[in-house]
Amino acid sequence: MIHFLNEHASPMLRADYDAAIERKLLRAVGSLVALAGVCAYDAGRQVMAERHFFDALRMATTAGDKVLEGHVFALLANQALRTGALQKAVRYAEAGLDLGIRNLTPALRADLYCLTAEAHAQLGNAETGFTNMSRAVAEIELFDLGNEPPETRHLTAEVVFGRNAVMHRQLGRLQEAQRFFDQAKNVSNFHPRAEVNHLAGQVDFLIAAREYAHAASVGLSLLSASAGMESWLVRARIKAAMDRLSGHMAVPEIREFCEAARRQLLLPL
């Protein structure tokens, strides 16, 4: 992808076009640069990922495409959240929302609200987290994924319910987490990455609830769904689950999961 951007896309950006074509070209290339950032993020190359995200943000701004701008702010917020930079995550997510609610699609608004909620919850601002997550859930009724751009079509109701469950689990509200996990099960059309995140969230929840054998059973589904998926975060979540379950190796399901997880983690990223 980087070769394509350097050899083909960059020369096109240096050519002369009328304003309408130039905006479309900037939008298309900006989306690809953002995707290159996602690839770098998944590979654990966070500095490179951030550089690509900022390049994509500049292109989106120049193109005047608020949805792409908001999407890139969501990517920056997600990167900050998953790497522990919680205050930065809040700033990026709020910057996306500051582009104007009417300028963003329902799925993108939901994503930004989820990111804001998760970051505030981890900062200890539970009420602010609940408020923003409620806003994300309210957007579900407006979802029309056929009218969403490609970048946001993975943001289904299942994603919102799953992230709501994870937030409640992180706050120790296990009954509420279970309710939202149950709602997520009733939503079809899983995106592959969303399914993996959903399964990982379930494993974390079941371990927190001390349902270790059940966690291992879901963990085996997680390993199957994530096989071949290049993601440092998924690998980190699998390793964390394996480490937390390793004290219960006398249980056959747990031993099977831990051995399978160890084999999968030996594969290069």
pLDDT tens by residue, 235-258:
999 999 999 999 999 999 999 999
Contact in structure between 62 and 42 (CB atoms under 8 Å): no
Where in the sequence is the domain holding 99, given as residue range(s)? 66-189
Residue-level pLDDT at 250: 94
Distance CA 230, CA 236 (A): 12
DSSP state of 15: S
pLDDT score, position 119: 97
| pLDDT for the residue 4 | 67
> Looking at the domain assignment, is residue 53 inside a domain?
no
Residues of the chain falling short of pLDDT 70? 1, 3-9, 11-15, 186-190, 269
Task: For residue range 68-94, list pLDDT tens digits in order.
Answer: 999 999 999 999 999 999 999 999 999
DSSP 8-state assignment for residue 257 = H
Residue 81, domain member (yes or no): yes
Count up the domains in the chain and report the number. Answer: 1
CATH code of residue 167 = 1.25.40.10
- The model carries a pTM of 0.88
Alpha carbon distance 74, 114 (integer Å): 10
- Helices (H) and strands (E) counted in the chain, each on its own, are 14, 0
Instruction: Confirm whether 154 is domain-assigned.
Output: yes
